[in-house]
Chains A and B, each alone.
Chain A
Amino acid sequence: MQGAIAAISTPPGEGGIAIVRLSGNKVIETVDGMFKPHRQGVQLKARPSHTLTLGWIIDPEGQVLDEALVSIMREPHSYTGEDVVEINCHGGTLPARQVLERVIQAGIRLAEPGEFTRRAFLNGRLDVSQAEAVIDVIRAKTDKAMQIAVRRLQGSTHRQVQQLEDELIQINALVEASLDFPDEVGDPDYVELRERLQQIVDQLDHMLEAARRADIYREGITIAIAGKPNVGKSSLLNALLRKDKAIVTDIPGTTRDVIEDWLNVKGIPVRILDTAGIRVTEDMVERIGVERSQEVIQQADLIIFLLDVTTGITAEDQFIYDSIAPNKLIVLVNKEDLDDKKVTEEDLDQMLGSVPIIRGSVKEEIGLKELEDLIEELILAGGLESDDLEMVVNLRQQQSLHQARQHVQEVLSYMETTTLDCLGVDLRGALESLGEVTGKNLKEEVLDRIFHDFCIGK
């Protein structure tokens, strides 16, 4: 079996579920390492082929990323003919993407376009008549994907990548020249080398961080609407979307699951989630909805917390408020259009401190414009400098940048205790990883640089 690959195999955009598919060597074991089954003690690797297992995908700290249904298919009876795992996540881009990132963190490579199909064909799972179709996919996607990715590297990002490339080529040249031409080129200065490598790591960190933040523009952010039952969450969702999506009634607890949709705030896609009202309930269905809502609140980037001016601040409000991190909170005091006002400025001050507060009425569309402005302000206050706005690298490129960083870090860690020839292995690895971002073969450029920079010649 070949090395493991992974990709999101459902079409981008909204759907009921999204599937992260993995294929290749040890994929079942790898997923076991990030899977917490509902039924304790169940291990995927002990499960028979072609079975489904329900559980949670967790991050290395044990935090839940998503609830998922995981199917395993062992070789040779799978699409690719290799061991295959399919993780069925919740729909929407974000959960699947988080799961995919988790899988990549675990050391699985992002699949090339058409790679699953290619493997299926090479492993005899597709017949010859399908070969042409596979070729079309590869031709259409691989080159184009690279072209698009490279073309999207523009402006400051492009300059940064080039600078890094240039610096790494220079460092490689410095080291390689000293190894291959010891008579003409002295040993590299380790103090200087360390400084330059550290700068590369810093720069890569900066870029990865910027890439993560720039993701906001592509992948969007998640906003959850929280609050006790009948506080007006669904109405707010509707108002923001300006269409009926949730069922709006006056009966508390009508919204029994998380309802979501997308809106656009100044070019940033915002996934907005309406949650079931959180309260202590005996109703089984509703209780699942409540638990789910709390999960959503944990995951959301921003939470709009609704208070009802007519009920005052209740124990339920306090309970919900305590489950939300204050740094991602906006409070909307609703129903200000009604006369029965039981929430005072003092109440708010005491409970919320410096959290931004808007007073308004969803029904009368009072304060909604304010709310949108505040959302935008808070998203962008996350530190998206204008410089970074050009930072649009895809996941594959991020993976390469990350690998480059790992290689350079490895050099820094072993500089004092190992020899230059060994350090060369990782220096070259860093260069190759960076070359994947721009699709260039940088090995020859190192040689060019050696002959350009050093007077070599006996």
Chain B
Amino acid sequence: MITYAAGSYQVVVIGAGHAGCEAALASARMGCSTLLVTLSMENIALMPCNPSIGGPAKAQLVREIDALGGELGVNIDKANIQVRTINTGKGPAVQALRAQADKYEYHKEMLRTLLDQPNLDILMAEVTRIETKAGRVTGIVTKTGAHFDCQAIIVTSGTYLKGRIIIGDIIFDGGPGNQFPATMLSQSLQDLGLSLGRFKTGTPPRISKKSVDFTKMVEQPGDERPLRFSYISPVFIRPQLSCWLTHSTPQTHQIVMDNLDRAPMFTGVIQGLGPRYCPSFEDKVVRFAHKDSHQLFVEPEGRATDEMYVQGLNTSLPEDVQIQVLRSIPGLEKVRMIRTGYAIEYDYVLPSQLKSTLETRGIAGLFTAGQINGTSGYEEAAAQGIIAGINAARQVLDQEPLVLKRSQAYIGVLIDDLTTKEMDEPYRLLTSRAEYRLLLRQDNADLRLTEIGRQIGLVSEERWRIFQEKTQLLEKETQRMREYAVTPSDKVIGPLLVAKGSSPLKDRISLWELLRRPELEIEDYLKVGLLDEYDLDILEQLEIQAKYEGYINKQHEQVKRFEKMESKLIPAAINYENIPGLSNEAKHKLNQFQPSSVGQASRIAGVSPADVNILLIYLEKERRK
């Protein structure tokens, strides 16, 4: 093919999904000339699956991305139809915001942000080849012959790589939502020496709102309070649209069972591995045969559309069976299906080939982020996107890479898991994957990461000002509450304790410590004038830090021990075959994953404590040479 020189950028991002948008914005905002290449302008920041953002672990990610100066939080705040807090009452570590997105608004708002961004150009094209020289990327070539020079490339191709859509016995090449797949890039990645795997995921049918009988469903309204993901979004309540809860019936399950011989999940047509946390409906019916009903949520996909998403019904059953299944569900007796549910298989890059910076180990300047790394979820994708964008830009600018620790952020947990674990299903972040969950809360993401974002250059003046005001207030008020002691004879506290059914004081105690009593809330102090009126953010933060101090300190202790091994770095040029004493399995695994620290090495399955000690001794020996 004859190519032509189309231009030169410092950073090229391939794919404009949630990872690609964050990567491109980060790179451009850090001052790198950036090209964002997308298969379709209409699909930028597309949400091809569920129309929601947030939930446990994911809300924390959104807040972390926001604190670093990313866009996901700001964008969902502009484009939601409903926001709720879930897991209230289970503790601050797992409390999580969740928003229902307006998919169309979400796309439009992100597109506008991208278009307005200086240093950032957008191009609609299919990238077919990545060019390298001496182990370093030099440029990309598009299907139509355009050649761009560049110093770093971030591939964020989602599920488009050799995408294959399956609906019953109908199978065709396609990206999500029946888009064109990226057919050539897989080969180019393999030519560069990368190993690919194949995963599967799925999505439910979409239905017409007009044809739904909501009287047979339970309404799920949004929160009455103004809620926002981003620390810099304005505080106000948008009109909330409800979601609706219904359920499958024994008849539904019978329909599935009667058609298993036509279900590609069971006939062997689908070979890619699917996620256990997101099973197809047919899988649920078969595996949980004792249940005669499963919950299903009917959710609007936006304000200006008639389309609704049937959460919990993802399926690759034949189209006619899908219609039968839908119509056996209370409220959907006369439903019209707008889009058919499908399963999709796609190539992913085995993430054991990545460094913690998300750069591939073999090819300098080549980064991957998002579903291409075997993850699932918009938030997981965006989190990798911003890190890849930051690290690509920092490499171009000749700066040290950014790697967040497991003890610092869910982003750190996510990327560390990707680079130390064997993957046998698409990876989804869970709060239970985080050892230091009580420290990595959605309420303190700004306190954890804003300063890092500022150093990197992604935190705007406005965000920095808001952050500084907040931390100063917190510091001042924390100190005051720690020092303000009340006595058993206190005229204000006495009656308050009585009113709250709390036992009377025996000794002097600070307001801070007193707040640990489970029956007291910080609002109680506010009501009796022991506290000034502050923003809800500040009140919430004070209350959590006071109430959970014991457990939080416990976790800080654990982190101290953890970080000792994290700080013992392993040089990149190490050859594990040459380390005497290591078990063969450890040698193999360490060579495969190439951990960057002894701590990381210890998390690789197959590396025993004895191996870790031997590694420590080897490193010390090398150091003394």
Contact = CB atoms under 8 A, between A and B. Distances in A.
A433 to B, nearest CB: 14
Given A182-B86, A457-B278, A118 B518 contact: no
B404 interface: no
B432 A176 contact: yes
Given A183-B295, A421-B91, A135 B614 contact: yes
B580 A132 contact: yes
A128 B619 CA distance: 11
B428 to A, nearest CB: 9
A142 B551 contact: no
At the interface, is chain A mostly helix, strand, loop or mixed? Answer: helix
Nearest to B314: A457
A419 B621 contact: no
Contact of B94 (A135, A138, A421, A428): A421
B613 A457 contact: no
Contacts of B294: 455
A181 B311 CA distance: 14
B389 to A, nearest CB: 28
A457 B312 contact: yes
The listed residue with most A CB atoms (<10 A of its CB), out of B297, B435, B617, is B617
Contacts of A112: 609, 613
B246 to A, nearest CB: 14
Given A184-B295, A417-B518, A457-B279, A138 B56 contact: no
A420 interface: yes
B217 interface: no
B581 A139 contact: yes
B608 interface: yes
Interface in B247-280: 276-279
A134 interface: yes
Contacts, number: 131
Contact of B438 (A3, A425, A455, A456): A425
Interface residues of A, number: 45
Contact of A138 (B283, B284, B518, B610): B610
The listed residue with most B CB atoms (<10 A of its CB), out of A118, A184, A458, is A458
B90 A179 contact: yes
B548 to A, nearest CB: 7
Contact of A131 (B56, B92, B279, B621): B621
Interface residues of B, number: 55
Given A178-B90, A421-B94, A421-B437, A135 B581 contact: yes
Contacts of B621: 128, 131
A182 to B, nearest CB: 5
A180 B438 contact: no
Contact of B580 (A128, A135, A455): A135
A419 B617 contact: no
- Top 10 nearest A-B pairs by Cβ distance? A419-B91, A421-B91, A142-B610, A421-B93, A451-B276, A135-B581, A176-B432, A457-B279, A420-B90, A179-B94
9 contacts: A118-B613, A135-B614, A139-B610, A182-B86, A419-B92, A421-B94, A424-B93, A458-B297, A458-B311
Interface of B: 50, 56-57, 86-87, 89-94, 276-279, 283-284, 287-288, 291, 294-295, 297, 311-312, 314, 430-432, 435, 437-438, 518, 548, 551, 554-555, 561, 564, 580-581, 583, 605, 608-610, 613-614, 616-618, 620-621, 624-625
Interface of A: 2-3, 112, 114, 118, 121-122, 128, 131-132, 134-136, 138-139, 142-143, 176, 178-184, 187, 416-422, 424-425, 428, 441, 446-447, 450-451, 455-458
